[in-house]
Amino acid sequence: MTSATGLLAGLKVVEFTHMVMGPAAGLVLADLGADVIKVEPLGGDKTRTLKGSGAGYFSMYNRNKKSLCIDLKSPRGRQIALKLIDQADIFIENFRPGALDLMGFGYAGLSARNPRLIYCSEKGFLDGPYADRTALDEVAQMMGGLAYMTGPPGRPLRAGASVIDVTGGMFGAIGILAALQDRHLSGKGRHISASLFETTVFLVGQHMAQFAVTGEPAAPMPARISAWAVYDVFDVEAGEKVFVGVVSDSQWTAFCKEFGLAEWGADPSLASNNARVARRGEIIPRLREVFAGFTKPALMSKLEKTGLPFAPIQRPEDLFGDAHLLAGGGLLEMTLPDGGKVSLPALPLAIDGERPGLFLNPPRAGAQSRSILESLGLLPEEIQALIGSGIVETADGSLAASAETS
C-alpha cells in the first residue's frame, strides 16, 4: 500500500534545480514527506518543455513539490528567496560551479545567514582538475567507463536511462540525511557535494576490482565471459524472449530435473559451476533448442515453479500494466501540469510495508507562488504588487488548486 505521509515531515527544503540530478535528490526527500519548494525562473523551469527523451523529466522528478516562480535577477526577488532559505533546513542546487556565488546564493553566504542549513550541490565532478568542467550524464558515462562496459567492443554505449543523474541525486540525498543526523548533535549544517563522474566510477568499481584481483581487464558486457554457464536471453515462440539464469549448483540440479536433462544432471563433470562455464559452448545451443518450443507464459511458469531466476524482456511502456507494480503500489497515479493523467514509479522502497505515496501532483509553474509568499508574511497587496511588476509569477488559481490531491 502507499502512504501520503513520510518520515521527513516538518523538514523544509528549497530547490534551485533543473533537469534530472538535482530534482532527483529533492524527489527522494519530497516523497519521504519533506516540504520541498522548487524555485523556478519566470516562465518556469525549461525542463518542463523539453522534447524527445527529455519529455518525461519534469513529470517524473518533480511530484510532491511546490512551485515558486520568481525573478532571482531582481533585488526584491533575491531578497524573498533569501528569506525563504533562512527558514529552510536544506538547500539543493545543481548550477554550474560558481554561478550561485555570483548571485549571492553560495554556501558561505547562506551558511552565514542560516548556520543550520544543509547545502547540497549536485555537480559534474567533485574537487580536482576537472571540477570546473561542464558535465552531463552521458559525459560521465563515457569518462567513467560505464559506456565502455555497456556497448560491444569498440562501440561505447550509454545506459538506456539517466542512471548517473538519478544515482547521483540519490547519493546527494544520502549525504543530506547523514548531515541531518550530524546536525542533531552539532546544531550546524554541512555542505554536501555529489557528482556525476564520481558516481559513475563508483558504479564501475566492481570492474576495477576485477582487474585488481585477476590482472585481467573487464570485457564490455556484450563480450564478457559470464560467471555462470546459463545466464542469457533465449528466444521462445511468437518472437518473444526470456532471460534465464542458473547461478548455483543446486539450481543446476533442479533445472536439469525440471527440463528433462537427466544426462546433464547425472554428469559429475558438470556438477560445479566453473566446469559448466568451460562447456558453455555445448550447453547454450542445446538450451536454445529446448526453450524455442515453449511459449513465454509456459516457460516462465515452469521456471517460477522451479525457483530459478528469469525475466520477460519488457519495454518501459509495458510496465504500466505490470501486475506486481499494480498490486504493490509501485505506480503512483497523478495529474500532469497539462491536465493529463499518468501512473509513474514510486520510490523503490517500503517503510513498515508502506510505499511512499503522492500528496502533490507535479506542479504548474508558480502553482504555489502566492501561498509561499503568504507563509513568509507578505500581505496580499504586496504579493499583488510583485505579480504586477513581473517579479513573481503565479499559475491560474483554478489550475493551481488542481495541483493538490487529497
Query: How far from the centroid of its chain's Cα atoms is residue 256's Cα?
Result: 39
- The pLDDT score that the predictor gives to residue 62 is 98
Q: Quick check: helix, strand or coil at residue 135?
A: coil
How many C-beta neighbours within 10 Å does residue 324 have? 8
Distance CA 121, CA 107 (A): 9
Domain borders along the chain are 2-203+328-401, 226-314
Burial class (CB in 10 A: 0-12, 13-18, 19+), 28: buried
Report d(CA 13, CA 29) in Å as an integer. Answer: 8
Q: What distance in Å separates the CA atoms of residue 94 and residue 124, rounded to the nearest whole number?
A: 9
pLDDT of 169 reads 98
Q: Would you give the end-to-end CA distance of the chain in angstroms?
A: 16
- pLDDT beneath 70: ranges in the chain: 1-5, 396-406
Angstrom distance (rounded) from CA 250 to CA 267: 14
Q: Which amino acid is at 134?
A: T
pTM of the entire predicted model: 0.93
Give the CA diameter of the chain: 86
Tell me if 2-203+328-401 shares its fold with 226-314.
no
**Domain 2-203+328-401: CATH superfamily, name plus number:** Crotonobetainyl-coa:carnitine coa-transferase; domain 1 (3.40.50.10540)
Confirm if 40 and 365 have CB atoms less than 8 A apart. Answer: yes
What 3-state DSSP class applies to 396?
A: coil
Q: What is the C-alpha separation between 253 and 262, in angstroms, rounded?
A: 9
pLDDT at 226: 85
Give how far Cα 296 sits from Cα of 231, 251, 272, 371, Å: 17, 20, 29, 53
Q: What pLDDT sits at residue 3?
A: 65
DSSP state string for 222-272: GG---SSSEEEEEE-GGG-EEEEEE-SHHHHHHHHHHTT-HHHHT-GGGSS
Q: DSSP string of 120-181?
A: EEEESS-SSTTTTS---HHHHHHHTTHHHHHSPTT-----SS-HHHHHHHHHHHHHHHHHHH
pLDDT of residue 75: 97
DSSP annotation of 91 reads E
CA distance 138 to 21: 13
Model pLDDT, residue 403: 36
Please state which CATH number belongs to domain 226-314.
3.30.1540.10
Q: Pull the grid cell for residue 265.
A: 544432471
